[in-house]
Amino acid sequence: MSVVAVVGGQWGDEGKGKVIDLMAGSASMVIRAHGGDNAGHTVVNPLGEFALHLVPAGIFNPDALCIIAPGVVINPESLDRELGALQQRGVSTQGLRISDRAHMVMPYHMVLEQAQESLRGKDAIGTTGRGIGPAYADKVTRTGLRIGDLLDPSVFRERVLHAATQANQFLRSVGREPAIDASAIARQYLSFAERLAPYISDVSGLIADAVDRNSRILLEGAQATLLDIDHGTYPYVTSSACTVAGLCQGAGIPPRAISQSIGVYKAYCTRVGSGAMPSELLDATGDYLREHAHEFGTTTGRARRVGWFDAVAARYSARINGFDNIALTRLDILDEMDSIQVCVGYEIDGRRVDQFPSVASVLDRCRPLYEELPGWQTSTCDIADFEELPAEAARYVGRIEELVGAPADIIGVGPARTQTIHRSDPWSGRV
């Protein structure tokens, strides 16, 4: 079987989009399985630079089917805009299929999220503001609207009216203007439905057939393990399951069909939004890395918090997912450093800790324990063979492999497809 899951090993933005785009050239199917347009996956390929939010990063292979699976929450306005932008740049979207089971992000989800974030005050999560949390909350309380519901306008209108009444009640209860207009929402969403309807179907048969035929299937993770609703740094997480297991659930892929799980890690760390980040750099080195690496969010434009590679967190997420190997991206960003730190443990109240804490307030108190490695001060961005890397860079990669417990079979030395060192066939892993 050849179902490869590509999952973020840190707090997102590790370069999952690049890895998917690279591998999608030889895939038959690429599936986005969870999250929504909170994701921002940047792809740089011969067609240009693209920021994808809902459309799978396999869309540049016209022969692959790209599926938005039941576990995704879709903002139809945002999807419609994304499809239009791709088409305008000559990218065919004919291979796209949208599961009728996928839930929708409704305009009131964004309004509710804004209200909830401001009620949290200093404890705000720092969400992307895309209504993701309230959309998943409605799904779990079984009041959500699915994209397939758009295909039956009269039932859709009725359900929007019910949901809008409840949203207005909530807004009133927290002293806000009850600003949700059900008929405007129904009109607007039914107009998107006209353009999206050709893509919407029950995709379960397509996926099952591809699994049965042994086709090459890629599962595209969004967000990342440390933002996972169960295993991440709760409550500073997103609202979906971001792990390999979460992807199986969201896509409807049997767990036994997974042939390989690739963990994507940056050669350092970033995080957007609130929550502890023990190896965060709040000094000139952090500012240098942020500017040099253009660490600003693809979705919100916010400055990303930057820090050294956190091996405690990285090993935790490798274990949760059972990564077979890792894609270590952005090694080139460290090219100019004269020395590099890796966080190999934490200290809490004078005690050394090697396990990633489960409680946010404990993680907050963790101080990083660093190991220092020499830099290489040579450009790596044109290197295609591992053997050609400067010895210090190879040593850095080797140390990360040891600490994470998985081989770095893909190494990124730039955003383009060609700026990649392959140490195995990505579809079969190392033999």
**103 classed as catalytic:** no
CB of 237 to ligand IMO, least distance (A): 6
Pick between residue 72 and residue 182 the one whose CB is nearest to ligand IMO.
Answer: 72
Which position's Cβ is nearest ligand GDP? 412
Size of the site for ligand IMO (CB under 6 A): 23
Stretch that binds ligand IMO, among 8-16, 63-71, 96-104, 332-340 (CB under 6 A): 8-16
CB of 154 to ligand GDP, least distance (A): 39
Q: Bridge partners of 309? A: 342
**13 classed as catalytic:** yes
196: closest CA among 150, 159, 133, 258?
A: 150
- Which of 38, 45, 99, 380 contacts ligand IMO by CB under 6 A? 38
Pick between residue 35 and residue 426 the one whose CB is nearest to ligand IMO.
Answer: 35
Please tell me whether residue 278 binds ligand IMO under the rule CB under 6 A.
no
Q: Which residues bind ligand GDP (CB under 6 A)?
A: 8, 12-18, 40-42, 44, 298, 329-330, 332-333, 412-415
Catalytic residue (one of 34, 37, 41, 109): 41
Residues ≥6 apart with Cβ < 8 Å to 278: 307, 310, 312, 313, 343, 346, 363, 366, 367, 368
CB of 141 to ligand GDP, least distance (A): 29
Pick between residue 39 and residue 383 the one whose CB is nearest to ligand IMO.
Answer: 39
Ramachandran class of 306: left when φ > 0, alpha when ψ lies in -120 to 50, beta otherwise? beta
Q: Which residues bind Mg ion (CB under 5 A)?
A: 13, 40, 298
Q: How far are the Cα atoms of 44, 66, 93, 95, 340 from residue 116, in angstroms, in the given order? A: 36, 34, 36, 38, 40
User: 31 phi and psi, to 5 degrees?
Assistant: -120, 125
Strand 258-266 with 325-329, pairing? parallel
Q: Bridge partners of 68? A: 32, 98
Catalytic residue (one of 13, 310, 324, 332): 13
CA atoms of 122 and 47, how far apart (whole Å):
43
CA atoms of 391 and 383, how far apart (whole Å):
13
Interface ranges with ligand IMO (CB under 6 A): 8, 12-13, 38-41, 125-128, 130, 132-133, 222-224, 227, 238-239, 272-273, 298
